[in-house]
Structure 1
Amino acid sequence: MARQTDAIATNEQLTGQYDEYLMPIWKDLHVPVERASGCTLEDFEGNEYLDLFSGIAVTNVGHGDDAVVEAAKAQLDEFVHGCTYVHPHEPAAELAERLAEITPGDLQKSFFCNSGTEAVEGAIKLARKYTGSKEVVALEMGFHGRTLGSLALTGNNAYKADMAPTINDVAHTPAPYRYRSPSREADDETFVERTGADLERVIGTHTADDLAAIVVEPVMGEGGIIVPPTGYLRRLKEIAREHGALLIVDEVQSGYGRTGKLFASDHYDAVPDILTQAKGIANGLPLGAFTAPAEIANAFESGDHLSTFGGNPVACAAALATIDRLEEAVLANAREQGAWLGDELATLEDEYDVVGDARGLGLMRGLEFVDPDAGTGPAGVAPEPDAEFAKHVGKRLRERGIVAGVGGYYKNVLRVQPPLSIDREQLERGVAGIRESIDAELEDDR
């Protein structure tokens, strides 16, 4: 087939190229994008969309933020690549020092890579090297990446079909999914005690007393925006210590202001032993990192772990500018708008039987859709999940010029994770669109 040389002019042309030349990476191309600015996407036919998903929680300070773009451009004029682990350069050094300042507790030394998946895999290697143990416990319904190692940690067989994860020493413990837990009515202390008992049972029955790490998302993104109670991370760290293991907190999706604080860990009273980062770290440029206290980090010896492109100077420059923007104003806006959004989504839960649960922190929010007439679903404590309803609401939103995510373990959660720079008028439009989409779907169901 002859190479197409003309510029893309329509959405159909772009999707045709995807079908012809890209491997099947997504079941449904949502909104083709020619350009983006702030919280707005524009397709190849001039249609504009309000972005309530940020490329899966990535463009946290907004698409095309001037300060981030200028920082990246300035570094492009200096040099593009030197391999951080062969040629030391200032952007990586400055960013590593900055991460030591902004991450929780005594986390000090970072390793730079290109993605969240790589950060998780590197963190596991570091935990194994430091502890001398091999086994890992992760959460059911958790998500940590799609390479073979990180996929072994991911607690969802929908991502694992036809694959063979290479890390065999992994066990899974129940997620703190309160809405569908038999302990949903318990107070926080009791709920934490019971989830901790589940973890101890899993360690006792599914491991060989060789535990290197417990891996957890402080807010579970792909699992359906699941927020644990305050004492949860502290209890997990206590259990990890009892078994000579480390607590790895995966902040790939929840970090960089997404929950209203720089890291979701900051909402809790436990400092991770290793913290993984990516997505929002450089506002769209590929960069990941994992950070640990010096004692743990120094377990790595030269050559134990390397990355050719990790810590790319252009991406590091963008990350430094992103952190500046978050601290200047964007983080405060995320807290303000997130609180308002939480109240509005809670109102939808009160008004609609099909909205089983509204939950989240900051601008990491989810609406779980259910079928109130189908009886109880998993664990027998909440209505049956309604994935079709959620899918149709997402489609109706796109028809109204609004992009949001649909996911969760049962694929029934509308995920609202806009750029943290979003203003109240834009959020009001988004909530109105959600309400209209629910009403339209209910009307069609009658």
Structure 2
Amino acid sequence: MSYIGPENILSIRQQYFFPATSHFYKNPPQIVKGFMQYLYDQDNKKYTDFYGGVSVMNCGHSNPEIINETAEQLKDLQHTTTLFFTQPMALLAEELAKILPGDIKRTFFCVTGSEANEGAMALARLHTKKNGFIALNGGLHGRTHLTLSVTGIPMWRLDDNLMKDNIFFIDRPYSPDESYEKAMEKSLEQLKKVLEEHGNNIAAMILEPIQGNGGIIMYPLNYLKEVKRLLEKHGVLLIIDEVQTGYGRTGKMFCIEHYDVVPDIIVTAKALGNGIPISTFSTTDEIAQSFNKPSASTFGGNPVAATTALNVLKYIKSHDLISRAEKLGKILKQQLEEIPSPYIQEVRGIGLMIGVQIHAVDENQPSHAITDVILEEMKDLGFLIGKNGLDRDVLAFQPPLVVTEEDINEVVAALKKVLAKLS
């Protein structure tokens, strides 16, 4: 197959894409092929993928154990609607009930994380008959009007006319200027105040168990227990957004398991389809009864997506990807922590969701500019990593869970080389 090349793609994007559609790298490759933890460009250069399409490809690119079944389903039945009976979606709902936290067992299928978070928030309003929401600064929940309104990252909010009434932001339990415990106390005090003043009109609090785009921010393990206790006191539901963290990413099937808390509603997407769009919001029998007006998602849980998701769950279990993520994540984090560089301020995260906070050594070169240089140099050495954080200065390591210890050794060695070159 002939490829048009990065220059032609850039020209087409500049003419026909919205200016909001940005890209990584000054000299981006054209990605044309993928297999497991590897991607290839137009010149057949191999890259080890340490970003996974932002925590999407947990089972690896074009994994034959998954895509062969997807292809067979595509040939048999591609799409109908939720109004018709299809086997894959029914079996998927049944399988999810076996692995979802606590007594959560009922699932509504959507296509994107934004759509699922929007549905979860609508469910909370229907069940509580209240309208308001609490969210954390630094959180990201989607691109619909309501999910943008509870997104606490300024650069992702897009619109100056988002909902403001009955939307309450509190600080996340993290600050670079104080300990996690002090930041947690501050966050909980703010939560108490909001609940005391507005709890009678707040439907739910929505948060990610690890803030992904917010900079790979995990909370003190007792934070969410106290959050849940305070919410229950005021009849407010807890929505956990596992769009980036779900399906083995953090060394648990769902990240919320690290905190020993069962949410009222849980949202998943990304890794469930391993590249095929599918998302869910799930809840208990009791809460689900409130979502009883006719509703549907045209492509939600269609046969191809549901078949893929069933095989994703099967692959995660049969290849023990959860234990693998836990083990390899510890190795990756330890090796990153041991890098002797003035540019590294902090290493955060758990499992194979690790963030490296970049520090500006020279005030004339801001941390986000250093981060961009690191990404470019790492790409040239054959490693694709991501970036996130409120100032876009956190290196994001979110690889397919099929990476090897050798891959980790190589990416850390490459990063050491890049940082030494910067020095």
Instruction: Specify if TM > 0.5.
Output: yes
Aligned: 1:26 with 2:21:
yes
Question: Contact (CA 8 Å) 1:152, 1:168: kept in 2 or not?
Answer: no
- Cα gap change, 1:406 to 1:47, in 2 (>3 Å): same
Alignment of 1:162-181 (within 5 A): 162-166=159-163, 168-178=165-175, 180-181=176-177
Corresponding position of 1:182: 178
Alignment of 1:126-165 (within 5 A): 126-165=123-162
Question: Contact (CA 8 Å) 1:172, 1:202: kept in 2 or not?
Answer: no
Q: Which amino acid aligns with 2:330?
A: A
Query: 2: CA distance between counterparts of 1:24 and 1:320?
Result: 37
Aligned: 1:16 with 2:7:
no
Match of 1:227 among 210, 213, 218: 218
Corresponding position of 2:205: 214
What secondary structure does 1:34 align onto? strand
Query: 2: CA distance between counterparts of 1:385 and 1:169?
Result: 36
Question: Contact (CA 8 Å) 1:385, 1:410: kept in 2 or not?
Answer: no
Alignment of 1:276-295 (within 5 A): 276-295=267-286
Q: How many pairs are equivalent?
A: 419
| Structure 2: unaligned runs, 5 residues or longer | none
What secondary structure does 1:110 align onto? strand
Alignment of 1:19-418 (within 5 A): 19-29=14-24, 30-84=28-82, 86-166=83-163, 168-178=165-175, 180-184=176-180, 186=181, 192-204=184-196, 207=198, 209-303=200-294, 305-329=295-319, 330-348=321-339, 351-372=340-361, 386-418=367-399
Question: Contact (CA 8 Å) 1:11, 1:43: kept in 2 or not?
Answer: no
C-alpha distance after superposition, 1:362-407 (max 9, x if no partner): 0000000112565xxxxxxxxx972221121111111212111111
What root-mean-square deviation, in Å, do the aligned CA atoms of Structure 1 and Structure 2 show? 2.0
Query: 2: CA distance between counterparts of 1:25 and 1:316?
Result: 31
Greater Cα offset, 288-297 or 26-35: 26-35
Q: CA deviation at 1:66?
A: 1.1
C-alpha distance after superposition, 1:114-142 (max 9, x if no partner): 01111100000000000010000000010
- Cα gap change, 1:51 to 1:65, in 2 (>3 Å): same
Question: Contact (CA 8 Å) 1:192, 1:231: kept in 2 or not?
Answer: no
Q: CA deviation at 1:353?
A: 2.4
Q: Which amino acid aligns with 1:121?
A: E
Query: 2: CA distance between counterparts of 1:119 and 1:181?
Result: 35
Query: 2: CA distance between counterparts of 1:67 and 1:177?
Result: 40
C-alpha distance after superposition, 1:250-270 (max 9, x if no partner): 000000111011110111111
Query: 2: CA distance between counterparts of 1:387 and 1:333?
Result: 31
Q: CA deviation at 1:97?
A: 0.8
- Cα gap change, 1:372 to 1:45, in 2 (>3 Å): closer
Query: 2: CA distance between counterparts of 1:101 and 1:203?
Result: 33
TM-score (ref. length: structure 2): 0.94
Query: 2: CA distance between counterparts of 1:434 and 1:59?
Result: 22
Match of 1:432 among 410, 413, 419: 413
| Structure 1: unaligned runs, 5 residues or longer | 1-5, 375-383
Q: Which amino acid aligns with 1:388?
A: A
What secondary structure does 2:217 align onto? coil
Question: Contact (CA 8 Å) 2:141, 2:150: kept in 1 or not?
Answer: yes
Greater Cα offset, 269-278 or 386-395: 386-395
C-alpha distance after superposition, 1:189-222 (max 9, x if no partner): x6644431121123445x4730100111001100
Greater Cα offset, 60-69 or 165-174: 165-174
Question: Contact (CA 8 Å) 1:192, 1:235: kept in 2 or not?
Answer: no
What secondary structure does 2:359 align onto? strand
Q: Which amino acid aligns with 2:106?
A: K
Segments ≥4 residues shifted beyond 6 Å: none
TM-score (ref. length: structure 1): 0.90
Q: CA deviation at 1:352?
A: 1.9
Question: Contact (CA 8 Å) 1:95, 1:316: kept in 2 or not?
Answer: yes
Q: CA deviation at 1:7?
A: 4.9
